[in-house]
Each structure stands twice: as C-alpha cells, then as structure tokens.
C-alpha cells in the first residue's frame, strides 16, 4: 500500500524555460514563494545554463537571491557543467541537477555532445559538488521515445541511469521528454532499469502530450517509485523536443493522489489560488476552475 509520495516541482525551471515571452524576475520569485507556501518541499528554481541557449532563465542568480526560503524546503538548480555548478553554489542552491539522455541524437541536439562525452563532462561537476557536500540529482531524457530516433531501448535507459548513480547522483529522474510514453513502454523501461538499480533511487518525470501521464505514474507506483516531477499549471516543453507539450500538472497530480488517499502534504486549494493569482496574471495559466 502507498501511504505517501514526494512531488518535485519543476515549473519555475522546466516549466518556464520554453516560454517565448520574457517573464519578469519578480514574477518568478513570486511563483517560487507561492509554491513553497502551498507545501512543495522540493522546487527546481532555475537553471545556470548559457543565456544564449535559454534566455528565459538568464536571471537565475537574481531569482535565487529574491526568494523567501523555508528551512524545510530544498531549492535546486539545473547545471550543464562546472561553470554552472559554481554559479549555482554561489547563488545558494541547496542541490544541483545534471541532465543526460538515453538517445544519442537527442544528446547531440540538446547538449551538443554524445552520451559518453556528457558523462565525461559531468564527472568533475559531481566531484566538485561532493567536495562541497552538495547533493546532485540526475535526469535522463527520452526514456521511452525520442523525437528524432523514435522508440528508445529500455537497456539504454538502464545503462545511463546506472552510470549517473555510480558517479554520485543520489536520485535519477526518468523523463518521458516528448510525452509519447504508454503504460506498456513505461513498464518495459522500468523493468530494465529496476533490474540493476533500486526504486528508491528513481523518480518519474512525465510530459502529458499524449494524455497518459497519470497512467504512467500509476505504473511507477506499482514498481515502487515514490517521487514524481510535476509542473504547476502543466507548464513546460523542451526546445529540442518538437511537439512536446507541458509536464503533467502539479495540481492535477495532487488531486489524483488525494482521490487515492495517498498523502502529498501539498495544499491543493493553495495551488488553485497560485494558478489564478500568480500564473493567471502572467497569462500562463488556463482555466483554473
């Protein structure tokens, strides 16, 4: 029986990174603060990547400087390399995340290098973070499908996941980047990954392009996974994954778990207020009723 789960809010980073209209720094700060108030204990605040590639998140340091921190909340940042890791630490990130892919083509399109080269690039980041006692989370993109290659081998996902954990990541988030995953393909992928790594080192990250994110979360639950990435208002999308819509919405997932009597410790009513009062004023939220 599942008693409780942890939701990792990625809206301020993964949700906003692909927005075409620049969002004001103070509005990003308001978003993070409102998420904290709603009970989210893990929030990915921003990304310290080159503003040339992700101009929407060029103000990452300013956002970190402006948020009101809660002692029991982890504020994380995505980093692509040592430079990004150093900037995240200087900004006061509680943990950092690195991102790899199970698809060679997507790796080349997303971070301009092969999967093997990406691991070489991340090795010093993990060593540096370890020296700084900073936890590192890993992401694996395209765990069921790639926008360029089609279906992705479950064994490829397992190998990348195992490598990230061996390098020092405390947890790896398995990302259905294009939202094409089905319960069948997710189950096959999980069987391969769980044959070599434990469920308590994994998280599920599902985009809802095909409307099957909740079904895929259910598959993860049945396999023992208890951490899930979500994005307020379903914000999100990847600039290197054509056709991928937003992440599964935090408020939808919270309500779904509540209906199953699974505790999230998140206030659903405050999430709805957030959609109306914070995202709604920016034209980022849809119908909140």
Q: Encode pLDDT of 191-209 as tens digits.
A: 999 999 999 999 999 999 8
How many CB atoms neighbour CB 186 within 10 A?
25
Dump pLDDT digits (tens) for 121-146. Answer: 999 999 999 999 999 999 999 999 99
Dump pLDDT digits (tens) for 23-37. Answer: 999 999 999 999 999
> Would you place residue 2 in the very low, low, confident or very high pLDDT band (cuts 50, 70, 90)?
confident
Measure the CA–CA gap between 175 and 160, rounded to whole angstroms.
12
Q: Between vectors from CA 68 to CA 66 and to CA 71, what angle results, nearest 5°?
A: 135
Find out whether 78 and 96 touch, Cβ atoms under 8 Å. Answer: yes
Find out whether 284 and 233 touch, Cβ atoms under 8 Å. Answer: yes
In angstroms, how far is CA 36 from the centroid of its own chain? 16
Name the least confident of 160-174, 201-215, 268-282. Answer: 268-282
Measure the CA–CA gap between 268 and 262, rounded to whole angstroms.
13
> Would you place residue 288 in the very low, low, confident or very high pLDDT band (cuts 50, 70, 90)?
very low
Measure the CA–CA gap between 87 and 34, rounded to whole angstroms.
24
Find out whether 57 and 17 touch, Cβ atoms under 8 Å. Answer: yes
> Would you place residue 21 in the very low, low, confident or very high pLDDT band (cuts 50, 70, 90)?
confident
Would the pLDDT of 286 be above 60?
no
Find out whether 208 and 244 touch, Cβ atoms under 8 Å. Answer: no
Per cent of the chain over pLDDT 70 is 94
For this structure, is 142 an active site residue? no
Find out whether 102 and 58 touch, Cβ atoms under 8 Å. Answer: no
pLDDT score recorded for residue 33: 97
Would the pLDDT of 249 be above 70?
yes
Q: What is the pTM of this model?
A: 0.94
Q: Point out the catalytic residue in the list 85, 142, 169, 238.
A: 238
Which helix (H) or strand (E) segment holds residue 42: the answer is strand 42-47
Query: Residues 6 or more apart from 248 whose CB is under 8 A from it?
Result: 206, 207, 208, 213, 214, 217, 228, 230, 231, 234
Which helix (H) or strand (E) segment holds residue 205: the answer is strand 202-206
Phi-psi region of 261 (alpha: psi -120 to 50; beta: other; left: phi over 0): left
What residue ranges do the domains of the chain occupy? Answer: 6-282
Write the CATH number of the domain with boundaries 6-282.
Answer: 3.20.20.70
Q: Whole-number mean pLDDT of the chain?
A: 92
Query: Which one has a higher pLDDT value, 91 or 19?
Result: 91
Measure the CA–CA gap between 219 and 209, rounded to whole angstroms.
17
């Amino acid at each position: 029986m599942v008693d409780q789960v942890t939701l990792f809010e990625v809206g301020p980073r993964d949700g906003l990174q692909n927005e075409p209209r620049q969002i004001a720094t103070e509005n990003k700060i308001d978003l993070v603060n409102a998420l904290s108030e709603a009970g989210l204990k893990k929030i990915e605040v921003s990304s310290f990547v080159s503003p040339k590639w992700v101009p929407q998140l060029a103000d990452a340091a300013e956002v970190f400087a402006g948020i009101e921190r809660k002692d029991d909340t982890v504020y994380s940042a995505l980093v692509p390399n040592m430079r990004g890791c150093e900037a995240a630490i200087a900004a006061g990130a509680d943990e950092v995340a690195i991102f790899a892919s199970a698809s060679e083509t997507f790796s080349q399109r997303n971070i301009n290098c092969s999967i093997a080269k990406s691991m070489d690039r991340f090795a010093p980041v993990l060593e540096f973070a370890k020296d700084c006692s900073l936890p590192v989370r890993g992401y694996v993109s395209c765990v069921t499908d790639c926008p360029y290659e089609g279906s992705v081998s479950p064994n490829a996902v397992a190998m990348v996941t195992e490598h990230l954990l061996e390098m020092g990541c405390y947890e790896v988030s398995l990302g259905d980047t294009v939202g094409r995953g089905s319960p069948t393909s997710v189950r096959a992928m999980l069987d391969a990954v769980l044959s070599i790594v434990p469920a308590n080192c994994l998280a599920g990250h599902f985009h809802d392009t095909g409307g099957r994110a909740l079904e895929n979360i259910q598959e993860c639950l049945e396999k023992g996974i208890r951490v899930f990435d979500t994005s307020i208002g379903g914000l999100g999308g990847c600039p290197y994954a054509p056709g991928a819509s937003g992440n599964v919405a935090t408020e939808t997932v919270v309500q779904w778990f509540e209906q199953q009597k699974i505790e999230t410790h998140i206030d659903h009513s405050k999430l709805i207020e957030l959609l109306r009062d914070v995202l709604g004023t920016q034209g980022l939220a849809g119908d909140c009723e």
